[in-house]
Chains A and B, each alone.
Chain A
């Protein structure tokens, strides 16, 4: 069975992956959002009120976080329809700030003291991976459907898609609001793992983190967010585990050689991806990605090519 560390690793990985998918869905229709952390906050607080303040069951809290975030998503998504690119980025960034200010000042949920005493959910792992299975199946179906093609078309050329008979307003709103619902559920799971959230939990760094998962993994197939989250969340965490394994190396193996000693120290240091070093690594990764593979590690073309190789040439 899993020990506590492994379980929490899998839980946080799952939460990050749901958050990555929440960015990915609106991104499919060309909407880049830095507000996904804000929607996580909305979901966390909404679910926290249900389970902590009202003492109701966790599943109800989870459902509430999805519904409330989806509604807030509609409200943010509507003005977002008219604007694109950098302006949309700023609007969603502003939304995230609003959520933080509300969390900081709302006395009912603890204001600056944070939302405390959220009950820890025992079966969180099951809930998270249950939700993930549904989300992955959803994308698997979506990307083989007419709606999926319409979304790629909107991403490519919104005006041309509209003239071809695509209802871009409805499809973009749908993507934005369901994406917000995913983020809300991720926030709910997070709150019921850490049992404490405050205005700083769902800040801009988290929003950028979520964006990075998709940009690095790839934004044109649902495999992108998965690969991105494994690469940027799971691997660094695994590297930290490597540190513990390194400590098992007997000191006699390295102490006689100056080179081995310094190599050991350097690696030991390198494998600590906590805090600031992670951001330096992110910055380097994103620059390299923009140069060599701007479409992300995974892409729709790549998946199509694999599919064709697997099934042989089509008739």
Chain B
């Protein structure tokens, strides 16, 4: 056993859609403060895995431990407030809100854990001014936007942003929840090479400076292999390999999953 407890532990997660098994008895652990990639061909169950971890889907079998605590029954918003944040492969920003407001939305649950605290704050804090808490929220959100280099877009509606910037806003929004672990679903998809390079640097800094664990689903193999500390490979809902990036790259099962094998023909 390593000294640090794993931040996330999956024990035999199984998820079915009707007769189709999207995840089949998946076991793996994510150590703290690492970049852990989950790769696999299309349809391998990577996004389903994220949906199960963030609580959008319930699993048929298996259990999830977050910092040693069982979170199988925790609702999605509870999991977010415990420290599990995510982004979406098909960007899902709140289009009617500005960039700044999008980021502030994920601070809500942490600042106002109950509906009554939220209502009380909305109605009674210093009439006709914003109140200390609002100012604190805005300052922190701006800090994150500056960290990601999109502070100039603070008042732009999320719907009006360029694609690469929308991906960064998703990351800023996930960061605003003060997560211990971030699930990033194909953050580099649709980015040009210089944007990808920038993303590489941002993710490295998140791990090294902010101590955030990153669980990464990504198809850009250069990014994955250069960035990750550890890689788990899924194929047809099953874990087929895991280990350091170099080891996984030369694993015959992985090569077979991506390229096919002679026997299958």
Give the residue among B55, B94, B114, B127 with the most A Cβ atoms within 10 A.
B94
Which listed residue, A146, A160, A314, touches B122 by the CB 8 Å rule?
A146
Knowing A165-B177, A166-B77 touch, does A149 contact B56 (C-beta < 8 A)? Answer: no
Q: Is the CB of B115 within 8 A of A142?
A: no
Q: Is the CB of B119 within 8 A of A146?
A: no
Q: Is the CB of B77 within 8 A of A138?
A: no
* Residue on B nearest A160 in the bound complex, by CB: B92
Residue A244 is within 8 A (CB to CB) of chain B in the complex? no
Report Cα–Cα, A153/B121, bound state, in Å.
18
Report Cα–Cα, A241/B112, bound state, in Å.
50
- In the bound complex, residues from chain A placing their C-beta under 8 Å from that of B104 are 146, 149
Looking at chain A, what size class is its interface with the partner chain?
Answer: 20 to 34
Interface of chain A residues 2 through 34 with chain B (CB within 8 A): none
Report Cα–Cα, A145/B157, bound state, in Å.
18
- In the bound complex, residues from chain B placing their C-beta under 8 Å from that of A152 are 94, 96-97, 101
Main secondary structure of the interface of A (DSSP, over half): helix
Residue B67 is within 8 A (CB to CB) of chain A in the complex? no
Which listed residue, B86, B109, B122, touches A166 by the CB 8 Å rule?
B109
Q: Is the CB of B77 within 8 A of A168?
A: yes
Give the residue among B96, B123, B137, B173 with the most A Cβ atoms within 10 A.
B96
Residue B108 is within 8 A (CB to CB) of chain A in the complex? yes
- In the bound complex, residues from chain B placing their C-beta under 8 Å from that of A150 are 105, 108, 118
- In the bound complex, residues from chain B placing their C-beta under 8 Å from that of A142 are 122-123
Which listed residue, A155, A165, A220, touches B108 by the CB 8 Å rule?
A165
What's the nearest-Cβ distance from chain A to residue B57, in Å? 11
B19-58: CB near A (< 8 Å → 1, else 0) gives 0000000000000000000000000000000000011100
Residue B166 is within 8 A (CB to CB) of chain A in the complex? no
Looking at chain B, what size class is its interface with the partner chain?
Answer: 35 or more
What's the nearest-Cβ distance from chain A to residue B41, in Å? 26
Interface of chain A residues 37 through 95 with chain B (CB within 8 A): none
Q: Is the CB of B92 within 8 A of A144?
A: no
- In the bound complex, residues from chain B placing their C-beta under 8 Å from that of A234 are none
What's the nearest-Cβ distance from chain B to residue A217, in Å? 17
Report Cα–Cα, A170/B85, bound state, in Å.
20
- In the bound complex, residues from chain A placing their C-beta under 8 Å from that of B92 are 157, 159-160
Knowing A153-B94, A161-B94, A163-B86 touch, does A146 contact B108 (C-beta < 8 A)? Answer: yes
* Residue on A nearest B178 in the bound complex, by CB: A165
- In the bound complex, residues from chain A placing their C-beta under 8 Å from that of B119 are 147, 174
Give the residue among B105, B134, B157, B174 with the most A Cβ atoms within 10 A.
B105
Report Cα–Cα, A220/B105, bound state, in Å.
17
- In the bound complex, residues from chain B placing their C-beta under 8 Å from that of A155 are 96
Residue A269 is within 8 A (CB to CB) of chain B in the complex? no
Report Cα–Cα, A173/B117, bound state, in Å.
15
Residue B89 is within 8 A (CB to CB) of chain A in the complex? no
Residue B9 is within 8 A (CB to CB) of chain A in the complex? no
Q: Is the CB of B130 within 8 A of A149?
A: no
Footprint of B on A, CB under 8 Å? Answer: 138, 141-142, 144-150, 152-153, 155-157, 159-168, 170-171, 174, 220, 300-301, 308, 314
Pairs of residues from A and B, 3 with the lowest C-beta to C-beta distance, nearest first: A165-B109, A165-B80, A145-B122
